[in-house]
């Protein structure tokens, strides 16, 4: 079942300011933690009294490019990420032999969607990117920028969608889900359904929220499903390194547009990513800041008159739409927009950053913490 009538998100500057004044946001922002900043201090070392060992190592990695020694940087990082993520994701490494470092998850998503659109033009079929309503906005934005049609579906109809998806379509799916900030329990069943009878893998699996959940899911994310053609990841959300652009993509087939990334890569970001993965396992930081997340949800909820509960993703909170007295605010925060029964979702990063000391004081006129 296709639904092309889902209304666009509500843009209301007044409601947006009200949410921000309460110490939250509608947009999801990465949480910078002391652990992330400690890793940056570690890799950059001390330059004031002559370079120490850490600083010398950092500088040395940029030298002697003609030797090819820099190849090891992205290869080691991608191998390390697969091992780090393995408690949450089932990955058949041999099934994804083409692996590329990328500037966060966005570059990975864009290249996979672009390559899909190019293949459609070569093979002369009409390309369509399919998503569930309320998904990460980047999937739709990149597809539309490439001239690819986007079809949205209610997630509740996933079985019908899986059976009717055109053979040449590309489905973009995030897990844990950007729709509500939770692990979607039917995701593996959906991937299996899309694999049934399909000649080609047709899912771009976005796992950029892996590393942001505190508990191991009941079943690991089935990235090893035959339906998955590419797996995009990022450290932005797990470690608050949004502006360091640390990510990658694992592909079943070569991605020629990313071939140059084996040379054109950010060695500082890869070094930082490697250190973060080595220092903290996939659950450590969400568990460490779980109590902060719950307290932040309580504070923001009081300020907005909402009964907020923590989502699986450690910077997000949700509320039942039926318990929201302010209908305008509920409509503003509802996700997906087109579902009147959808829960409200907001980001707790501003309050959490204040609580752990990585942000300046948040001015909330007339509101006690």
To the nearest 10 degrees (0 to 180), the angle between helices 34-44 and 53-60 is 80
pLDDT tens readout for residues 129-164: 999 999 999 999 999 999 999 999 999 999 999 999
Query: Which of the 8 DSSP states describes residue 66?
Result: G
Cα dihedral 315, 134, 174, 160 sign: positive
Q: What is the pLDDT of residue 71?
A: 85
Which parts of the chain sit beneath pLDDT 50?
Answer: 1-6, 361-369
Q: What is the pLDDT of residue 341?
A: 86
C-alpha closest to that of 170 among 188, 154, 146: 146
Query: Which of the 8 DSSP states describes residue 253?
Result: S
Q: What is the pLDDT of residue 50?
A: 67
Q: 181 CB contacts (<8 Å, ≥6 apart)?
A: 209, 311, 312, 313, 316, 317, 318, 345
Give the bridge partners for 167, in sequence order: none
Q: What is the pLDDT of residue 41?
A: 87
User: Alpha carbon of 77 to those of 80, 88, 173, 273, 316: distances in Å?
Assistant: 5, 18, 24, 7, 28
Asked whether the beta carbons of 128 and 170 are under 8 A apart, the reply is yes
Mean of all residue pLDDT scores within the chain: 91
Q: How far apart are CA 133 and CA 128, in angstroms?
A: 15
Q: What is the pLDDT of residue 340?
A: 84
3-state secondary structure at position 96: coil
Q: 315 CB contacts (<8 Å, ≥6 apart)?
A: 28, 29, 30, 31, 212, 237, 293, 347, 348, 349, 352
Q: How far apart are CA 10 and CA 334, in angstroms?
A: 9
pLDDT tens readout for residues 244-273: 999 999 999 999 999 999 889 999 999 999
């Amino acid at each position: 079942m296709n639904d092309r009538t889902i209304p666009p998100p509500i843009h209301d500057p007044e409601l947006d300011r009200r949410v921000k004044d309460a110490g939250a946001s509608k947009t999801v922002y990465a949480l910078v933690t002391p652990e992330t900043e400690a890793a940056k201090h570690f890799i950059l070392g001390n330059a004031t009294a002559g370079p120490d060992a850490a600083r010398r190592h950092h500088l040395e990695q940029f030298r002697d490019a003609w030797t090819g020694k820099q190849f090891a940087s992205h290869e080691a990082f991608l191998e390390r990420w697969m091992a780090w993520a393995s408690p949450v994701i089932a990955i058949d490494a041999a099934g994804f032999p083409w692996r590329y470092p990328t500037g966060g998850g966005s570059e990975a998503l864009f290249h996979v969607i672009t390559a899909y659109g190019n293949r459609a033009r070569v093979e002369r079929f009409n390309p369509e990117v399919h998503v569930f309503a309320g998904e990460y906005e980047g999937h739709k934005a990149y597809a539309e920028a490439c001239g690819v049609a986007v079809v949205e579906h209610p997630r509740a109809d996933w079985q019908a969608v899986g059976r009717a998806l055109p053979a040449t379509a590309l489905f973009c799916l995030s897990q844990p889900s950007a729709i509500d900030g939770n692990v979607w329990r039917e995701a593996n069943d959906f991937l299996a359904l899309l694999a049934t009878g399909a000649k080609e893998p047709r899912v771009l699996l976005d796992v950029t929220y892996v590393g942001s959940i505190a508990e191991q899911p009941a079943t690991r994310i089935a990235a090893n499903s035959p339906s998955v053609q590419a797996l995009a990841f990022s450290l932005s959300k797990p470690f608050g390194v949004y502006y360091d652009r640390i990510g990658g993509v694992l592909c079943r087939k070569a991605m020629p547009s990313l071939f140059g990334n084996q040379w054109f890569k950010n060695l500082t970001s890869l070094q930082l990513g490697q250190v973060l993965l080595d220092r903290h396992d996939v659950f450590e930081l969400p568990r460490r800041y779980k109590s902060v997340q719950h307290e932040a949800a309580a504070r923001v909820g009081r300020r907005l008159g909402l009964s907020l509960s923590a989502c699986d993703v450690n910077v997000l909170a949700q509320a039942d739409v039926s318990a929201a007295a302010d209908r305008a605010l509920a409509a503003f925060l509802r996700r997906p927009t087109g579902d009147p029964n959808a829960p409200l979702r907001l980001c707790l990063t501003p309050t959490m950053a204040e609580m752990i000391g990585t942000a300046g004081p948040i001015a909330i006129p007339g509101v006690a913490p």
